[in-house]
Chain A
Amino acid sequence: MLIQIIYGLFVAIALASALMVVVARKAIYSALFLVLTMVTIACMFVLMNAQLAAALQIIVYAGAIMVLFLFVIMLLNLGRQPPLSHRSRPVRWLGLVFAFGIALQMGALVFSMKNMLMAMPGGAASITIEQVARLILTDYLYAFEMVSVLLLIAVVGAVVLARRNLVQGVETMIEKPDVE
């Protein structure tokens, strides 16, 4: 009974904070509510007995990726930026209708599978790191290698893109090597 109350609480927090990500006025509030959503989803993983996924969610998502977001918000000083122009755009409402349609369709799919889902053995399985590692390094080896190459490309691309005046910087370094 207690765990049901906790679960309901987490569902409410996750939905409310996900909604706040969208409606919050400043980017920094959106980021902090996104952290809350991620932590709540990690709590869901713990309730589902998926500790590995919960730890990765906290470390990689709520830790690394969100720190990246917060750094960029800090660098760009988005809190002080002038408000965006409020041109009316009817396409936005179409977007809301589209999102509602997605929710309706996928929700209907889950509801239609309700009996099958309820019959599943729920949350009892504990998946070890060893199982996951064995799977990644055998069946999913090529996907694993491709993803690591993708990550390398992304890191190099981010450095090249974000650096200001890359060519000029290299030229000054060549002209004055002692400046460093």
Chain B
Amino acid sequence: MQYMIPGNLILAVAIFAIGAGGVLWRRDAITMFMCVELMFNAANLGFITLTQSLGRPEGVAIFLFVITIAAAEAAVGLALFIKIFDDREKIDAEDLNLLQR
């Protein structure tokens, strides 16, 4: 069981980095959103790993908050994508540059 704590933390770091790289690399907004979810998951893995090894319930409470915020973010973001898709036929993060002009 001991190896799981550093193992899980390294795994969380790896998944977080994959998610961060995906957000910066991909261009369609839905996949970028999924990469954000990956980063949320990595954070959750770290919280649960440490809270289990310490035997304290704080991490599980934070895990609940993270899940709630992820759900709220997904709901609003996906609603926005539907609206953007009504305007343009695709959701390309490169094309959404109205604020850069």
* Main secondary structure on A side of the interface with B: helix
Q: Identify the closest chain A residue to B53 (Cβ).
A: A120
Residues of A within 8 A of B1 (CB): 122-124
Contact of A132 (CB < 8 Å), options: B10, B26, B61, B83 = B61
Residues of B within 8 A of A168 (CB): none
Residues of A within 8 A of B11 (CB): 11, 14-15, 44
B72 touches A151 (CB 8 A): yes
Contact of A87 (CB < 8 Å), options: B5, B26, B63, B94 = B94
Q: Determine how close the nearest CB of chain A comes to the CB of B84; give it in whole angstroms.
A: 10
Residues of A within 8 A of B53 (CB): 117, 120-123, 125
Q: Determine how close the nearest CB of chain B comes to the CB of A27; give it in whole angstroms.
A: 5
CB within 8 Å for A127 and B60 given contacts A22-B18, A22-B21: yes
CB within 8 Å for A118 and B2 given contacts A19-B18, A127-B57, A161-B79: yes
Report the bound CA distance from A37 to B37 in whole Å.
Answer: 10
Report the bound CA distance from A57 to B42 in whole Å.
Answer: 12
B96 within 8 A of A: no
What's the tally of chain A residues with a CB closer than 8 Å to chain B?
88
A147 within 8 A of B: yes
B80 touches A161 (CB 8 A): yes
Residues of B within 8 A of A117 (CB): 5-6, 9, 53
Residues of B within 8 A of A34 (CB): 34, 37-38
B82 touches A75 (CB 8 A): yes
B83 touches A161 (CB 8 A): yes
Contact mask for chain B residues 47-66; partner A; CB cutoff 8 A; 1 contact, 0 none? 01101111111101101110
Q: Determine how close the nearest CB of chain B comes to the CB of A85; give it in whole angstroms.
A: 7
Q: Determine how close the nearest CB of chain B comes to the CB of A7; give it in whole angstroms.
A: 7
CB within 8 Å for A41 and B45 given contacts A21-B34, A56-B67: yes
Residues of B within 8 A of A102 (CB): 16-17, 20
B38 touches A37 (CB 8 A): yes
Interface positions of B (Cβ within 8 A of A): 1-11, 13-28, 30-31, 33-35, 37-38, 41, 44-45, 48-49, 51-58, 60-61, 63-65, 67-76, 78-83, 85-86, 89-92, 94
| Beyond A18-B38, A21-B34, A99-B18, 13 additional pairs, beta carbon < 8 A | A4-B3, A15-B15, A27-B34, A34-B34, A41-B41, A53-B63, A69-B33, A76-B82, A82-B90, A122-B2, A123-B1, A136-B64, A157-B76
